[in-house]
Structure formats: C-alpha cells, structure tokens
Structure 1
Amino acid sequence: MSKEKIKVYLYTRVSTSIQIEGYSLEAQKSRMKAFAIYNDYEIVGEYEDTGKSGKSIEGRIQFNRMMEDIKSGKDGVSFVLVFKLSRFARNAADVLSTLQIMQDYGVNLICVEDGIDSSKDAGKLMISVL
C-alpha cells in the first residue's frame, strides 16, 4: 500500500518584461517542479500572474484564485510552493496576513530558492524577520 503524496500548489509571478526574460515563469516552474519531485509532492494546481507587482495582492487574479481554492479546501493541499518569497509578496503585511489565512486552513508556504518552510519554526522566524 503506497503512502498518499503531500499535495501542493505552485505559484509563479513576474512583474516586468525584464523579469520575464531574467527569471522566467518557466525557470521558476522548472525549479519548483524539480523540488516537488525530489520531495515526492503531488502538484495539484498551478497559478501564474504575469506583469503584476508584488507590492500588493490586489489585482493579482491568479493569486486570489489560489487563496479561494485554499479556503474551499477543494484540493486538500498542504503547501504552496513559490520560487522566492518575493514572488509571493513584497509587502511584509501582505506576506504575514496571507500566510496566517493559509495556516488557518492548514496550508504552509515553501520558498524553494530561499530555503524557507513556514511549517518549521526557523521558517516562521525568517519570514517574520524579512
């Protein structure tokens, strides 16, 4: 009998054409997918915002759709994977309030490139300091 895999969402964001070329959505996805495979996670949803600033979560349609999906519990995810914390949000208040909402629904954040996992004490500390 095989163990059920941990379910995750991927979230990617770029705000400018320079970022699209420099740290493309594909590069972000590729790194996160490799991380998911390595950790035996099952990707059950992918959300992508292009040309959207990280200063506010307002207007980020896919981000907000992902949050609604988390609240609905439709996929039973345990984590949201992002490439870096700056792809999730740049505003500290948004990071902390959104993360609290996610955790209220049993979902944590993993920042693959930053090595941050909000389900661990060290990860919570790093997020609160940043």
Structure 2
Amino acid sequence: MPDGALHHIIGFLLAPEAVRTSVLAWRWRHLWKFATALRLGYLGDDEEAAVKAHREFVDHLLLLPGGSPLDTCEFRFVEFDRDDEPPPRVDLWVRHAILCKVKELRLHMESSDDMLVLDDLPLVS
C-alpha cells in the first residue's frame, strides 16, 4: 500500500494509537508523523481527558511531526481550569495546527470556568 494511503488511514486513529503504529514494522516507524489528521485528548466517545493529564504527550507529539499539512486537527479535553496554566499551551497547540495548514480545526474544551480564552491574536488559516 502506498505511504499516502497509510497516512490517510492512520489519520483516523486517535493520536496515542497512531503513534503506537510505529512499532508494527520498520516501514511504519515514521508514518504516523505524516498522518493527514490529528486527534488529541480523548480516548473514545464515552471517555474524557483532562488537559493536565495529556499536557506532556501533546507537547512532544506536536514537536515531532515537523509541520506536516493536516486535513483535520481535533482537540477534545475536559476538566480544564484556568488555574491549571494550560491556556498558553492550548494557544500553542492551536497555532501549531494552523501552521500545519489545517483545513478543519475542532476545539472541544469543557471548563469549570465560563469559557476558554485564547490569546488576542488573529488566527488566519
């Protein structure tokens, strides 16, 4: 199967599962880095993820791919609190997705506060 098709298929996996494909075979070692979609923060429809619990994984994950173009990037987190310090990180995650020329960006954040406020900088994609 061509690498482009595998990149597309891997894009349907959640980020931790996509990264795990790197151990399948030598050829698969770096395929996840070029997946056409990035799905972060949730493990399934019924499971929820806290920003704090995934902070380190997401930071490392976004550094490694090197800006591959993305069709879809989805962040889904709960248990977000402004006192947890992630707003700068969430801003960086969103900006990284935009730098990857994402076509569709989905941001699902549930907070104990009223809303998540991103930096007051223009988002152009």
Given the two structures, how large is their TM-score scaled by the length of structure 1? 0.37
TM-score by length of 2: 0.38
Does 1 or 2 have the higher relative contact order (CA < 8 Å, sep 6+)? 1
Q: Which structure carries more strand by proportion?
A: 1
